[in-house]
Structure 1
Amino acid sequence: MNRLWLVFLLLFAVTANSNAQAQTDLCEENIPKDWQAVNGSLSLSQRHFKLGRQSIQWDWKAGSKSLLKLKDKALAQVAGNPRSTFVIWIYNESPLNDKLLFKFGKEGQTACNFEFKLNFKGWRTAWVMYHRDMGGKPVPGMNTLEVQAPAASKKGTLFIDQLMYNVTINPRSPMRDEQLPFINPGADKAANAHWNALYSFSHAPGYLPLAKSISSNEITDLATISKRYREQVLPTEDKVHTVLPEIVQEFAYWNIRRDGQNITGRPVYSMNDTELVSFSPAGNVKETNRLSGIKRYSQFMLRVAQARATSKDAGEQRRLESIFMDLLDHLDDQGWAYGSGMGALHHHGYNLEGFYTACLLMKELIKREGKLDRTFKSMSWFSGLGRTLQHPHSLPSSNIDVFNTLLGSMLSAVLMLDDSPEKLRYLHSYSNWLSKNVVPDHTIEGAFKPDGAVFHHGNLYPAYGIGGYTGIAPIVYVLSGTSFRMQQPAHESLRNSLLMMHYYTNPFKWPVSVSGRHPTGNWGIADMPYAWMAMAGTPDGKLKTDTLMAAVYLKLNEGKRNQWTNAFKNMNISPAGYPHGHWNLNYGLLDIHRRQDWLLTLRGHNRYFISHESYPGENMYGRYLAYGQLEVLFPQSKTDDGSNFKDEGWDWNNIPGTTTLQLPMDKLRANVINADDFSGIEEMLISDEPFAGGTTFKGQGMFAMKLHGHDKYDMGSFRATKSWFMLDSLVICLGSDIHNSITEYPTQTTLFQNYLKHTSDPVVVNGLELRTFPYKENGIGRSMTVIDNRNIGYYIPDAGNVLLSKDRQLSRDQKDARETSGNFAKLTLDHGNAPLNAGYEYAMLVNTDKQQMKEMSLKMNSKAPVYRVLQKDSIAHSVWYATQQITATAIFGSNKVLADSLLISNSKACLLMYQQKGNRLSMSVTDPDLAFYEGSDDSPKDASGKRKEVSIYSRKWYRLPARPSIVKLRIKGEWATVRNNDGLVKAVVGKDGNTQLDIRCKDGLVSAVELVKPNQKKK
């Protein structure tokens, strides 16, 4: 996810363009006229500078009697802006165990204040929100600032640059550090705590005892880990393209100069600086970071370190070492040092990652220069290494950003230490922390879920997942086979999550429905995590090579030859075949169904899991992505990407599988706002309906949801009940209770919307090929069969409201950056405007032909149909599948009248599939409600009763675990459990001869039930 830093820069630039954000450097020409030094003096200095080429030097004497007095009209507006923030950069040449006192006031009366510790050398910044972080409260018309010098020092010097009196910033951003430990304390538990809680991490006491000595086996383990990790971060000689002249040229750009102990150079900006002011001449955020950002700087440090590690010339080595030490010292002087929060450091893991590896590669040089301890402290601070020192039982959940960008950084910091008991303690803490954070997490917050889903932003999010896998898997290998190896449950969890990604990719791309805010159809799996996991061995540690992980890697690299394919093939490992079966990821609400070489997925949402994620310029029309999106992916080839999707001309109203309101583009476009202080500028809406999810039975499956539109877009009256039954190559799709009061626009259910590579691509209707383009037809008849241009068949028993077209469509791309057009075939069911209790039924047959569809139509109109719909109403959706004699039912309430020959009653909403063969009854039961909270919907409402948009991170249940439940079923006849129910099921036969089943359910997982007739059990 290397592009994410730019996304956030653009987001914050949206909010950072008012009043003081436009301020330029304050001290390039002269000292501001409203500045006055009491018992001291002010002058311009080029000795240190943060912006421009000079700063204001403040020399003081007489300790606390020395004051810096400032006046500015910008202070008058502070009281009226709850996000107003004071910003200043200060350079200190000599650390002091003392502090500055900043006092803001009016007419000589102090209104608010804060203290700034001076226990540092170099540049440090303060971002202090007036209303939240200061003592006291700002008052209207404030106009003065007094800075009181340290009380214990008779004289001293400080340098001041880039002072801003009133900046509007994102309240999540400021973070506390060693200078300002009181700033934004709530950030330690916020959604972005992995970036912002560095102060808290650095003060973690540690829970493991310090060993008295280090054993020979431990020394061997440490050597193994160090060797493996260095091999990963060192480029092979054939990949080293950097030559010394190029490095010298880049080094000259940074203009680093030494004057005795003093060092200056081009400022190294952090990502958060762009919230305050644009530093590039053109005011361009992207240009600023390309020119002077920490990402460019840290990557350059890594290039220098890698060049030094592979250089064979002694003179070149010395020059590279000199350059590296200048870079390291200048970075420290700029404030990239232990204890410095840099104002805010969101996403620093992406931007600073080259720093850690570079330092590790240059460890011996840094040690020789006497700066090993300083460097280790800085590495541990910015990587948040202290987070690993917390006891595993009290650890907060770490997210994918940490695994993706900071995991290797933390290990680099540990490996900077010489072999010692302290290093052992850090490494054991690191390993324990990693294991604790990779075992399944039962909340929305963590990364890995019990069903194999990988999470970020409170949602199933494989685009972030691949970064997490890419970060974790190499570390699992590095630690494998040593006393620091990942614990078995964590290893199994990671392996299961990787397998699930293999199941919902085919074999490379994943469905658009799980693409988050990037619905481009181009995102896909990463292969290297499977190779590293293969080399890490099996979770139980018994085998040095995990052949299943290796087989998946080979599947992703069929036809390729590299060191990994050669190694695995030499072990007689064959590529994995296409998976076959059905899987539910009810954390994230994705169902996966696979046969032959195709993948079918379904996506829903409910009151816990969002319908979509939109950012400014990203997924601006994806409101319906989880309204029941059904996708079929075939394997990619040189001429076909295996998908029906193309952004060019795609109608975002007609996503296959969904039931949606057909809106004009301007009304479908997301209105992305900063909903509250818990979030950024984003849209992540949830429903108020708890029912959505799937279950699995003997490789078959079903998924159902109750759909409710969001009041943000006046869709509170929009409701539908939807279900899908996935049985071999057959998918039965049902809808009921479709209604809304919106008269302006029609409601439709989309069967398919397929990109046409050629306008002559056929659609087959009742056995007749239609190659005409353009083509439109409405209401074809009582029953109908259609085969689309991807050989997917559709049987529609009542086709009176069918809309079929082949036409050129005009649309907008998902970024809303341009108009698009493309040729598509589309089949929908039109429910009309403001429908009242409308419904639908249709069946899909994947990978079919005319003869199969003809046979299916004949069977469905005979006395021996392929399936029967037993019930389709607000109480339940139920289907009987003749081929396997399976009954599948989604029950939306409790103790209602059910059209089921076995089920008498139920205690709560659930999903049920069963099959009876003689005296044996097999069941799968799932409670789809993960119950992060119970009771009615907790969405805040406005005065009219409409649900308000609030951040998912603001919900009180966001960090609460899913709660288990007992589903009670009464079934006809006498039944008894068999031994393999693992205590999940209790069966009691009542006086009426029927059986009461108590079934334990948790985490949306399947509870498998095996029952027999009592007399059969005795046998």
Structure 2
Amino acid sequence: MKPHLLSYSLPVAFQTLSLCVAAALWTPDTQANADLTAQIESFEANALPADLSGQGISLTTERAIMGDQALVWSWDKADASITLKRHFSRLSDKEANEAKGVYSGYTQVLSFWLYNETPQDNDLRIRLGNASSFTDEFTINLNFSGWRAVGVSLNNDFNLGQNSSHAATMDLQQLRIQAPRGVASGTLIIDRIMVSVDDNRYQWSDEQVTTRYDVPEIDFGLSSPLPAVSQAELDDAEQIKASLIDAFSSNPGTIDSLESRFAQFEIEKNSQGVISGRHIITDKQQVIYQPDHLSPTDKPDFDQYALLGESDSSGDKLAGYAELMLDLGKAYHHAAFINDRERIADMYLLMTEHLLDQGYTHGSSLVTTHHWGYSGRWWYISALMMEQPLTQKSLLSPVYQALLWFSREFKESFDMALKPDSSNLDYFNTLSRQHLALLLLNPDDQERIALLHKFSQFFSGALAQTPPGTHDGLREDGTAWRHHGHYPGYAFPAFENAAHVSFMLKDSAFEIAEPALDKLKKAMIAGWHYSNPYVPLALSGRHPFTDLSVSRYNNGIKWLAQSYPILDRTLASIHLQVGNYSQAQSKAIFGEEVEPAALPQGSWSFNGGAFAVHRSGDKMAVIKGYNQDVWSAEIYTNDNRYGRYQSHGSVHVIPAGDPVDNGYQQNGWDWNRNPGATAIHLDYDQLESPKSSTLMLRSDEGLSGATSLDNRFTLFSFKHKAPQNLAQFEPTFVAEKHVLAAGNQLYLSGNGISNQDGQHATETTLFQLAMTPQSSGIWINGQHHDATSFTTELGSGDWIIDDNGVGYYLIEADKVKVRRGAQQSRHNKTKADTSGQFSSAWIDHGVAPANAGYQYVMVMDTTPAEMASLASAFATSPRFSTLERSLNGHVVNDRANNLFGYTSFAANDFSQGPVKHLGTASQLLVQQDKKEMSLSVSSLTLNIGEDDAPTQPVSIRIELTGKWDVDTQGINYYYQGNNTVVTVSSLFGQAATVALSQDGGNDGNGNGGDTGGGEDNGGDGNGNSGQPASGGSGGSSSALGLIMLAILAARRTRL
């Protein structure tokens, strides 16, 4: 059985998925912990440390990593050594985790920097010991020049490869550096010796040091001999290169602004060729320092570091080194800088030399470079743009080799051998264009063309494939998976950059295959459907109140439209709508006139994310649950702390436009009152995750999913059962929730709402909206209320319209509280107090409810007159009703559309409407019009296979009242008595649709389907069939009868 609480402490260094969900970080209310304070010797004093001994040691200001000074060791005799006699405080992994406040994920690390002028194939020995003897050692190969970082786990990286291993001494009082055996003289520079706590996944081996983590290099796997290349292929490659450069060739500012930014990095090269500058690190390399616990002595020097990428998790460093390299590349190709190209090239080449000297070179792990794409992505593009100056300076080859080396974190993609984990959304986002740029830098014509062909095939496959299990990638229903689930925050930028790659390869020998374009198109259109234009709270992952919108990939929509052999007008029209372009403007964009799309209208189910979308006018309803396969929310210690109820059957009806203007703002937001959700109202300390690391809760037994009919109607169900062994979660909390969406109305019902929490009220929230200048106030039973302070209580038969014009008619809701006023809350990341003015309404089920329920109707856009009319109509002839409730079944009805919605949480018989039986956990929508019937049926489980097994479809058996002909091809059915049994397959929760009809009764010719035995075919499970469609005896054993049955089965099964 799959685990329900996802843990991301997997001991595999290069598992990119786990990188993004690292264990808990320090929080502002955590007291400083001395165990987390890095023990650092940075050689910044005026004299050598008193506890350091050895021949030939001195201080230097010529080169340094931390601060302005480093230690120079020049030895002139064999077996020389230097010894630092210092008592370092040691922590076991258990103690390191306790210091961090987590169960696992951290280790104590010894790390330092070495500068070597001349490479040699000899090993430096590092020896560790207590006060009286040396007990442990490891070696460092000196086969390098420049700076190298060394980092080993003191608890896990000693005695590697031996039958038994142990941690380095827990009484660490000596650190000795021993010169290579037999080497009589040499010089090394040493800086920033440190013992600190680090994430235990990220001490990577390299060509100098061996740790427990080997991150294999990329293997392109090219055949030999390589095929000959044509001039057309070479021309195509040059055109792709020109297109990629052109795509990034914008004006990056002025030469003065570029000079100013360059000066901030303090890069200099003296007359002896010694290059110096700020120490360059990646954002994730800050973790090893535990920045929030650095001593006041070390923190200022640490803050002088500069970041390769644009992100700075500590918030106090100069960032954007690689981005400046990109901007220099842009300037080099821009006409406005034609007279400054020499100076631009000089700055770029100095930045390149500095990076290489800092250890960003082939064979150097820098301890770790995880999340490399976010830090290093602009280095690739800038290198392509500056290919000519790099070549002239003999730097192209070392840069190419360095980029190839650091790309190994994404080996499963860069190898270009299609595998289940090859569809990584982070790769598409941060490194797919960079991968292409790297291949274009290969100077060998035959290799370059072979690699581009392989890239095309791989990229096509990575987009088109449906990865097995929970691997990253695009799914059949339009969801896009990252972190084991649908994740727009990762998907939207991946869409854009994958489409850009496709566009650049169009009309070349390396173009992307059309099935890949189609798969990406489906995911892009899905994103348009579930955004308005912003991504709703329910789909925000660990970033509630995100400003992510479909415009994030609107350029990608345009590029993908243009990637097809002829313009894809559907995508083109969506691009125009999202960008607010007119039909007149379309000619300049696409070379032909295209009418902009209207806002999408209708209903869609996305069971890959356990949610559904229903749209009417400019409003979008998002209905969200979770289950065994789909997590409820991504909760980190410092992100989305209070997101427990994000998927508790939430229903948000969101107008188009800015969410803040429409009342969705974080300040003052009550995290317990997610609209539509049923929740136990807790204080924020109790609501916060009980886990000190990542919590991505799946359900122990609960089911949730949706099915949509004709993209017009949707049935959604959520069966909730709280986790049984998780602190701060009430284990007795259960509930069922159902939504039927049709037209501009949603019928919401809940039943079986129960728990034994005797202290906190259970609530179902109707709405929660911040009062903004755009707020119109609320209407209650015809009375308008716009005061900032107001409370009342409503009951069954009442109605209310919220500040966004959404109406709520209370069919069965005896205690509904309405409140307008100030709310106090906390920020989801910092826990800082927040406040705001809010308008809210919720059903109060009371403390420890037993089988509570509710029914109400939402009208997505309405007026007081319409609500009054609806209330009057419901009083005499309700449009919606619940026809049947049982342990495993639920039936709802919409009279206006002759629509029935069936939910079975297990095999279940029904007594109401046209459906008699559903054979497994599934949902079915039925619309009947006299002698025609339409079905949409979906499995409530995704049936995700273990490990890398492909997802298998779920077979669903449906028994219908009466005899019906199936008009849909490929559907098996037969008659059982006077009923019709239909069997369909649902893959990954997608709906199977079936059209049926009656022609006045069966023609009596025995046009029945498969009558073989087995329970799913209407038999008794012992090989005895149900009644054949002819109406004759199912037990006939005559040869003629059997032959006839076979013939009739073939006729009735539409192939």
| 1:157 partner amino acid | T
Indicate yes or no: 2:197 matched with 1:211.
no
Q: Is 2:121–2:141's contact at 8 Å kept on the other side of the alignment?
A: yes
**One of 386, 392, 397 as aligned partner of 2:417:** 392
One-letter amino acid of the structure 1 residue matched with residue 722 of structure 2: G
CA displacement at 1:171 relative to structure 2: 1.1
Equivalent residue number for residue 971 of structure 1: 960
Counterparts of 1:311-710 in structure 2, within 5 Å, are 316-384=340-408, 387-388=412-413, 390=415, 392-394=417-419, 396-418=421-443, 420-439=445-464, 440-506=466-532, 508-520=533-545, 522-526=547-551, 529-537=553-561, 541-543=564-566, 545-558=567-580, 565=586, 567-568=588-589, 571-636=592-657, 643-671=662-690, 673-674=692-693, 682-698=694-710, 699-710=712-723
- 1:812 and 2:812 aligned: no
Deviations 1:155-177 (A, max 9, x none): 4332221112x311111232232
Number of residue pairs matched by the alignment: 951
What letter corresponds to residue 556 of structure 1 in structure 2? V
Deviation of the 1:229 alpha carbon: 0.5
Q: Is the 8 A contact 2:199 2:288 kept in 1?
A: no
2:150 aligned with 1:126: yes
Which of 171, 182, 199 aligns to 1:170? It is: 199
SS of 1:494's equivalent in the other structure is: helix
2:480/2:488 contact within 8 Å kept: yes
Over 3 Å counting, the alpha-carbon distance change for 1:389 and 1:555 in structure 2 is closer
Residue 282 of structure 1: how far off its partner (Å): 4.6
Out of 885, 905, 910, which is 1:892 matched to? 905
Residue 949 of structure 1 aligns with which residue?
Answer: none
One-letter amino acid of the counterpart of residue 796, structure 1:
L
**Cα distance in structure 1, aligned partners of 2:833 and 2:19:** 27
Alignment deviations for residues 533-585 of structure 1 (CA, whole Å, 9 cap, x no partner): 4345467x430x222222112112226899x7552375111211111221111
Is the 2:933–2:995 contact (alpha carbons within 8 Å) kept by the matching residues of 1? yes
Cα distance between partner residues in 1 of 2:351 and 2:696: 41
Q: What letter is aligned with 2:798?
A: M
Q: Deviations over 1:589-628 (max 9, x none)?
A: 1211112222111111123322222334432322211111
Question: In structure 2, do the counterparts of structure 1 residues 750 and 915 end up closer, same or farther at CA, with 3 Å as the change threshold?
Answer: same
Structure 1 residue ranges without an equivalent (≥5): 186-198, 675-681, 934-956
Q: CA deviation at 1:96?
A: 2.4
Question: C-alpha separation between the residues in 1 aligned to 2:336 and 2:130?
Answer: 66
Tell me if structure 1 keeps the 8 A contact 2:70–2:191.
yes
C-alpha distance after superposition, 1:448-475 (max 9, x if no partner): 2221112332232222222212322221
Structure 2: segments with no counterpart, 5+ residues:
1-17, 97-106, 160-164, 1008-1050
Q: Secondary structure at the match of 2:656?
A: coil
Which residues in structure 2 correspond to 1:190-229 (within 5 Å)?
Answer: 199-200=215-216, 202-204=217-219, 206-208=221-223, 211-229=226-244
Task: Determine if contact 1:759/1:773 at 8 Å carries over to the other structure.
Answer: no
Displacement of 1:847 = 1.4
C-alpha distance in structure 1 between counterparts of 2:484 and 2:426, whole Å: 13
- 2:427 and 2:34 map into 1 onto residues whose CA distance is 32
Q: CA deviation at 1:720?
A: 0.8
Matched, 1:156 2:186: yes
1:52 aligns with 2:52: no
What percentage of aligned pairs have identical amino acids?
Answer: 24
Query: TM-score normalized by structure 2?
Result: 0.84
Identify the range of structure 1 (436-445 vs 476-485) with the bigger mean alpha-carbon deviation. 436-445
Which moved further from structure 2: 253-262 or 478-487? 253-262
- Give the partner amino acid of 1:966: S
SS in 2 for 1:352: helix
Report what 2:763 is aligned to: 748
Contact 2:703/2:905 (<8 A) preserved = yes
Per the TM alignment, residue 749 of structure 1 is displaced from its structure 2 partner at its CA by: 0.7
Q: Where does residue 42 of structure 1 map in the other structure?
A: 57
Give, in whole Å, the separation in 2 of the partners of 1:798 and 1:249: 64
Measure, in 1, the Cα distance between the counterparts of 2:334 and 2:810. Answer: 67
Q: Using the alignment, how far apart are the partners of 2:803 and 2:621 within structure 1? A: 17
Give the match for residue 735 of structure 1: 750
Q: Per-residue deviation at 1:153? A: 4.4
Q: Is the 8 A contact 1:269 1:293 kept in 2?
A: no
Alignment partner of 1:832 out of 825, 840, 846 = 846
State whether residues 966 and 995 of structure 2, in contact with CA within 8 Å, keep that contact through their aligned partners in structure 1: yes
What is the letter of the counterpart of residue 27 of structure 1? F
1:731-756 deviation per Cα after TM superposition (whole angstroms, max 9, x unaligned): 11111111111011110111122333
CA distance in 2, matches of 1:720, 1:644: 28
For 1:628-649, what per-residue CA distance to the aligned partner results, in whole angstroms no more than 9, with x for missing partners? Answer: 1211122228xx8663423233
* Contact 1:173–1:344 (8 Å) recurs in 2: yes
Structure 1 residues 210 and 375, CA gap change in structure 2 (3 angstroms): farther
Query: Does residue 27 of the first structure (1) align with residue 12 of the second (2)?
Result: no
SS at match of 2:280: coil
Q: Residue 370 and residue 781 in structure 1: after superposition, are their counterparts in 2 closer, same or farther (change >3 A)?
A: closer
C-alpha contact 1:379 1:409 (8 A) present in aligned 2: no
Matches of 1:782 and 1:358, distance apart in 2: 65
Distance (Å, rounded) in 1 between the aligned partners of 2:844 and 2:996? 44
Q: Secondary structure at the match of 2:920?
A: coil
Separation in 2, partners of 1:212, 1:222: 16
Mapped to 1, the partners of 2:974 and 2:504 lie a distance apart of 52
Q: Distance in 2 between matches of 1:403 and 1:760?
A: 40
Q: Which of the residues 846, 850, 856 maps onto 2:860?
A: 846
Is the contact made by 2:613 and 2:622 (CA closer than 8 Å) also made in structure 1?
Answer: yes
Residues 780-837 of structure 1 show CA distances to partners (whole Å, capped at 9, x for unaligned) of: 4442222233222222223422222333333334345543333333221111100111
Q: In the TM superposition, what whole-angstrom CA distance separates every residue of 1:151-209 from its partner, at most 9, and x where no partner exists?
A: 46454332221112x31111123223222354434xxxxxxxxxxxxx42x24251555
- Which string of whole-angstrom CA distances, capped at 9 and with x for unpartnered residues, describes residues 827-869 of structure 1? 211111001111111111221223333333333333x531231
Does residue 868 (structure 1) correspond to residue 881 (structure 2)? The answer is yes
In the alignment, the residues of structure 1 paired with residue 277 and residue 209 of structure 2 have an alpha-carbon distance, to the nearest angstrom, of 26
Q: Secondary structure at the match of 1:704?
A: strand
Q: 1:1001 aligns with which of 974, 986, 1009?
A: 986
What is the distance in 2 between the residues matched to 1:767 and 1:17?
A: 59
Structure 1, 604-613 or 21-30: larger mean CA deviation: 21-30
| 1:176–1:488 CA distance, 2 compared to 1 (3 A) | farther
- Give the equivalent residue in structure 2 for 1:85: 109
Task: Using structure 1 for the length normalisation, give the TM-score.
Answer: 0.86
The 5-angstrom pairing of residues 272-291 of structure 1 reads 272-277=284-289, 278=291, 282=300, 289=307
Query: Which range moved further: 69-78 or 657-666?
Result: 69-78
Alignment correspondent of 1:938: none
CA deviation digits over 1:711-740, x for unaligned, max 9?
231321211111111111121111111111
The match for 1:987 is: 973
Q: Tell me: CA distance 1:311–1:482, structure 2 relative to 1, closer, same or farther (3 Å).
A: closer
Shift of the alpha carbon at 1:919? Answer: 4.1
Cα pair 2:428 2:498 within 8 Å, conserved: yes
CA-CA distance at 1:268 after TM superposition:
1.7
Cα displacement (A) at 1:888: 0.7
Bigger mean CA offset, 760-769 vs 659-668: 760-769
Rounded Cα–Cα distance in structure 2 between residues aligned with 1:764 and 1:692: 33
User: Which residue of 1 is the match for residue 213 of structure 2?
Assistant: 184
For residues 245 and 922 of structure 1, do their structure 2 counterparts lie closer, same or farther at Cα, with a shift above 3 Å needed? closer
